[in-house]
Amino acid sequence: MALRLRQARVTDLPAIYRGEESYIRCWEPEHEASWRAQLERHLTRWVDNFDRLNVALMGNTFAGYSLWTPEQHYAELCTIHVMPEHRRSGVGIALLEAYALDAIQHGFTQLRLSVRPDNPAKRMYEKAGFVCSGTGAHDYLTYKRHA
């Protein structure tokens, strides 16, 4: 099956919601109640940054998504999620590099993201040239990469 990336469509929002919900339940079950209480805020961020919301398809199957936001001096990867059945197939790195390319095309020279210390995706970030720069909110590791 061929991997294809495209900008998100409104019809992708239910799958994106399911991906976010899956992540919270798997990695941060202790935060599920507060995540649900802030759903409107999350939806607003997705809509406000819709042109920076990308999806990955394997054939015609939804395989993952990523969202980044422009900050004052850098581009922040807010979320990246690969559906479990498509992990370790190149979807994550393709979404990560699409974020980097898009941010660079929008004039950003610094990329940032945060990840839980126990999330195996941090190896992907490191292989892609991101360097751990400290610890942020909720003890997440913060990573930076210069474009």
Q: Residue 138: pLDDT above 80?
A: no
pTM for this predicted structure: 0.92
* Strand stretches in the chain, DSSP E: 3-7, 53-58, 61-70, 75-82, 110-115, 131-135, 141-146
In one-letter notation, the amino acid at residue 140 is Y
Q: Residues 16-40: what's their mean pLDDT? A: 91
> Measured between alpha carbons, how far is 102 from 84 in angstroms, rounded to an integer?
25
In residues, how long is the chain? 147
pLDDT-derived band at 136 (thresholds 50, 70, 90) equals confident
Residue 28: per-residue pLDDT? 87
Q: Residue 58: pLDDT above 90?
A: yes
- Give residue limits of the domains in the chain: 3-146
Give the residue from 60, 68, 58 showing the smallest Cα distance to 97. Answer: 68
Residue 102: per-residue pLDDT? 97
Question: Each residue of 106-121: pLDDT tens digit?
Answer: 999 999 999 999 999 9
CATH 3.40.630.30 fits 3-146, yes or no: yes
Question: Do strands 3-7 and 53-58 pair parallel, antiparallel, or not at all (unpaired)?
Answer: antiparallel
Q: How far, CA to CA in Å, does 52 sit from each of 17, 88, 127, 134?
A: 16, 23, 23, 26
Residue 3: per-residue pLDDT? 96
Q: Residues 80-104: what's their mean pLDDT? A: 96
